[in-house]
A and B are shown apart, each in its own frame.
Chain A
Amino acid sequence: MIPPKFDYHRPTSVQEAVQLLQSSPEAKVLAGGHSLIPLMKLRLAAPAAVIDIGRIPDLRGIQALDSGELRIGACTTHHEIATSQAVQRAAPLLAEAAAQIGDRQVRYRGTIGGNLAHADPASDLPAVVVALNATLQAEGPQGSRSIPAAEFFVDLMTTTLQPGEILTQIRVPALGQGTGSCYLKFEHPASGYALCGAAAIVSLNPDGSCAQARLCFNGVSARPVDAAAVAQALVGSDLSDGAIDAAVEDHLRVPDPVGDIHASASYRQELAKALGKRALKAARDRARG
Chain B
Amino acid sequence: MATIYVDGTPHEVEEGQNLLQACLSLGYDLPYFCWHPALHSVGACRQCAVKQFKDERDARGRIVMACMTPVADGIRISIDDPEAREFRKSVIEWLMTNHPHDCPICDEGGSCHLQDMTVMTGHAHRRFRYKKRTYRNQCLGPFLNHEMNRCIQCYRCVRFYRDYAGGRDFDVLGSRNRVYFGRHEDGVLENEFSGNLAEICPTGVFTDKTLKKHYTRKWDLQWSPSICPHCAVGCNVSPGERYGSLRCVVNRYNDAVNGYVLCDRGRFGYEYVNSEKRIRGPLARGAGENAVEAVSKGTALERIRPWISEPERVVGIGSPRASLESNFALRALVGPERFVAGMSDPELRLARRAVSILRDGPAAPPSVAEIEACDAVVVLGEDLTNSAPRLALAVRQAVRRQPTEKAARFKIPAWDAAAVAYCCQNEKGPLLVATPAPDRLDDAATWTRRAAPDDVARLGFAIAHAVCSASPAPDAMSEADRSLAEEVARALKDAKRPAVLTGVSCGSEDVLRAAANLAWALRAEGKDARLSIALPECNSMGLALMDGGSLDQAIEAVENGSAQTLVVLENDLFRRMEKTKAERLLESAQHAIAIDCVENPTTARAEIVLPAAALYEASGTVVNNEGRAQRFDRCYVAEDNIQDGWRWLIDAMSAARRSEAKDWTSLDDVRAAMTEALPALAGVAQLRVEGGKIPRQPHRYSGRTAMRAHIDMSEPTPPEDADSPLAFSMEGYSGAEPPALQPFFWSPGWNSPSAVNKHQREIGGALRGGSPGIRLIEAAPSEKIVWFEEIPQAFSRRPDEWLLVPLSRIFGGEELSVLSPAVAERVAAACIAMNPKDAEALGLKAGDEAEIRLGGTEPIRQPLADMKELPEGVAGWPSGLPGVEWVEMLSWIGRKGTD
Whether chain B is bound by chain A comes out as no
Q: Which residues of A contact B (CB under 8 A)?
A: none
